[in-house]
Chains A and B, each alone.
Chain A
């Protein structure tokens, strides 16, 4: 119940295309959903985050779509660029259970072809 399932494991997109990464969860105690970008040898960097009272949030080329009833959320990267090539992690925080830890997905390795 503590898991966050992320797909796909890897993704190849042409420059200018849309990259879509999906995550699903079971635990209804999750109430905060951040997305992180990680380059090799670096720590995860926060991209964008959403709370379940909002169905969509957009920041620049990055959009989170959130479906509370389906317990699914996704990251859309518009106009994907080679510099976006990295590993992306979704996460969920079960704050209503009284904890502030993040539960991370297993990651999606994105490659954007020039």
Chain B
């Protein structure tokens, strides 16, 4: 169990550019989540996958944002035509799918995005 891995850890880009982040969940975790965290705030939910199916998307996920999990393992989050307001920490979490009820989500250390 090597934990949730996110790449890159930091990304600096100019406004209007496209960026893509990768998340590798804990192996055998079926559920994968993306959150966004701005300074001084709690994480806000963006979207979640169960295996390769994207089951829920937040209103925060505008049409410039797209997430994929093509083989039910790693996931990518792409932001097109970045804006100043996209500057944030993008967090990925995963949880197992077994048994009844809730399973805790385990977070990676995030990708910090800075828009110049």
Contacts and interface: CB of A to CB of B under 8 A. Distances in A.
B21 interface: no
Contact of B44 (A41, A43, A104): A104
A46 B58 CA distance: 23
Contact of B109 (A32, A41, A95, A104): A41
A44 B104 CA distance: 12
A41 B91 CA distance: 11
24 contacts: A31-B102, A32-B101, A34-B104, A34-B105, A36-B107, A42-B110, A43-B91, A43-B109, A46-B106, A46-B107, A49-B102, A91-B42, A95-B101, A99-B56, A100-B33, A100-B48, A100-B56, A101-B45, A101-B58, A102-B45, A104-B42, A104-B44, A106-B42, A107-B40
Given A44-B43, A107-B42, 11 more contacts: A31-B102, A34-B105, A42-B109, A44-B91, A44-B107, A95-B101, A102-B43, A104-B42, A105-B42, A106-B40, A106-B41
Interface of B: 4, 31, 33, 35, 40-45, 48, 56, 58, 91, 93, 95, 101-102, 104-110
